[in-house]
Structure 1
Amino acid sequence: MPQLSGGSEKPRRWIKRYRTETAASTASVLSTVTAFPLDSVKTRMQTYPYAGALDCVRVTYNSEGIRGFFRGVTAPLASVTLVRTISFSIYQRSKYVYSDWMKQNLGFCPLEHVNKNGAYPNLGTIACFGVAGATAGSGITFIACPFELTKLSAQVSVLMANQKNADPQKQAIALSYHNKGTFKTLANIVKHRGFSGMYTGLNLHLLRDTLGTGIYFATYESSKQLLTTFSGKDAHKNPIAVLAAGALCGIVSWALICLYPSRQL
């Protein structure tokens, strides 16, 4: 029995030590699997002339069944999980570094402030969490850019191929991306553009992810602190505040991404 108890302690200690990475990867898997059918419908509607979302769902289900909505989920599942896990890990470490720097140089510790009962967000906390988020966003860009470019290439390939008065050679290249998996699409990009082609639009991607991730975490921490203060409960005892803050920061960051023009292709 003591051996069983000792053996069970090691996984617990590991999970506690890497709780940020464990939580981020678990949340990424669940969110990707849950949202992928919607993303699949969006991609199909961008590629084919469906009458609407319901028509797309009907045609996909009749021709491919439930599997059709999850076609190609494996690669995004791996890439999104990797990117988000690294992003949250960088953010978690960065916010402690920036908070310690502000405490030593400015006499204000953002992490101590947010843990005070009844405290509200201020410029110092927003700056600390925003810069930490921007650091995470810029750090993951070099991993996320090839996957993002691959996804965009697959989504718009048919639309580009069907353009009127387009160069026949360019149309043939666009069609070569049609109905290919993630890795075949990535191989096509390398074939036509070289290895550097995987980072086409890197500067704009870097700007988008730096701003978007900075706003994401600043909004999350600030709204969570506000909701916790208003409820009069500790954040660990108020999961509704955490849930609402997560939803709000997602809406705000996605609004920025949707408004930001994509010029990677």
Structure 2
Amino acid sequence: MPAESDIQHVTGVSIRTRTMPQFSGSEKPRRWIKRYRTEVAASAASVLSTVTAFPLDSVKTRMQTYPYNGALHCVRMTHRLEGIHGFFRGVTAPLASVTLVRTISFSIYQRSKHDYSNWMKKHMGFCPLEHVNAAGTYPNLGTIACFGAAGATAGSCITFIACPFELTKLSAQVSVLMANQKNADPKKQAIAMSYHNKGTFKTLANIVKHRGYSGMYTGLNLHLLRDTLGTGIYFATYESSKHFLTTFLGKDAHKNPIAVLAAGGLCGIVSWALIYPIDSVKSIYQRNALMYSKGQKVPIPKIQFFRRDMYRGLGVSMGRSAAVNAVFFSAFEFLKKKINALQD
């Protein structure tokens, strides 16, 4: 409420007026940061984790779309043909997209988990968030379902933002390999060559040129399936493992960097291990589609679990994901704690 003060009227009668409180120049930004602490922490942590692990993502994509004799062979060939720059091809797109996507994803997830928790409390008499915050409890089917549903909701929503960026990133990562690939069809070869050594925005313009504006959403169905399932598993694993470690270690996991580090690494490993064939088919389909013109039908590879070639690059992907999420969640929880500690 505005503060009240007394002043003397010209007649000498005391009257009461209201004066607005004065804020220093640093208080408005501080209030904004505290209000949007989830988004601010997620954005900063995303930039750090993306740059740290992008070379592993590049190796993973190359191994999914082209045959290599293992990860080391892929690293050696990439370095020999393209140098260090080859491992960072397309990094601009994910720096923008991953930051945006994670920020929106975490915002949707935070709201969704409270909505689902309230719904379960109202209709089932069990509140997952109250259970998690109670001392001495462990994860159960109710908490896993709540966090998984909230994660799936976030994953399905961000797919429509992430798909064009990820397609652009994939194109940049394999553009040299596409150009060197010998195609029997000269038209496909010409289209493949047109992607060679282009930046993020030129690549996006090239996709629109050959496949129209709808081409930016090539592979959307596969992307939606991957992100809905993967993000649900991702958040359910993170929250559940953090909850378990909180009780097991007898400490607040938010204040225990080892618990956050372990939960962050584990959620990346588990989610990728379970949905990797879907991601492989998405990458192969998008790579193939880049060599087709608008209106041409692109065959969709069949998703086959437990087939060996569907898991090419899985080790690299799991290592990358563990590193990315360990760095991300450590930075995320650290920044949120620092923001919460700011004076109101």
TM-score normalised according to structure 2 size:
0.68
Q: Residues of 2 paired with 1:259 and 1:41: CA distance?
A: 16
Q: Which has the larger radius of gyration?
A: 2
Q: How big is each residue's C-alpha offset from its partner over 1:27-76, in whole Å with a ceiling of 9 and x where there is no partner?
A: 1000011112333455677679898255347537xx75x66654543332
Matched, 1:73 2:94: no
Matched, 1:122 2:128: no
Q: Which residue of 1 aligns with 2:167?
A: 149
- Structure with more contact order per residue of length (Cα contacts < 8 Å, sep ≥ 6): 2
Q: How big is each residue's C-alpha offset from its partner over 1:75-96, in whole Å with a ceiling of 9 and x where there is no partner?
A: 3211110111111111011111
2:100 partner letter: L
Q: Which residue of 2 aligns with 1:55?
A: 76
* 1:257 positional shift: 4.0
Q: Residues of 1 paired with 2:80 and 2:22: CA distance?
A: 53
Matched, 1:82 2:100: yes
The 1:130/1:169 distance shift into structure 2, 3 A limit, reads same
1:149 partner letter: L
Q: Residues of 1 paired with 2:62 and 2:276: CA distance?
A: 18
Q: Once superposed, what is the RMSD of the aligned Cα atoms? A: 2.7
1:21 partner letter: E
Q: Residues of 1 paired with 2:198 and 2:62: CA distance?
A: 14
Q: How big is each residue's C-alpha offset from its partner over 1:173-221, in whole Å with a ceiling of 9 and x where there is no partner?
A: 0110111111111111111111111111111111110000000000000
Q: Which residue of 2 aligns with 1:223?
A: 241
* 1:146 positional shift: 0.7
The 1:148/1:67 distance shift into structure 2, 3 A limit, reads closer
Q: Residues of 2 paired with 1:155 and 1:16: CA distance?
A: 37
* 2:49 maps to which of 28, 31, 39: 31
* 2:261 maps to which of 243, 246, 256: 243
Question: How many pairs were matched up?
Answer: 260
- Secondary structure in structure 2 of the residue aligned to 1:6: coil
Larger mean Cα displacement after TM superposition, 165-174 or 145-154: 145-154
Larger mean Cα displacement after TM superposition, 131-140 or 162-171: 162-171
Matched, 1:140 2:158: yes
* 1:195 maps to which of 205, 213, 219: 213
Give 5+ residue unaligned stretches, structure 2: 1-20, 290-344
Contact 1:47 1:157 in 2 (8 A): no
Give 5+ residue unaligned stretches, structure 1: none
- Secondary structure in structure 2 of the residue aligned to 1:108: coil
Matched, 1:97 2:115: yes
TM-score normalised according to structure 1 size:
0.87
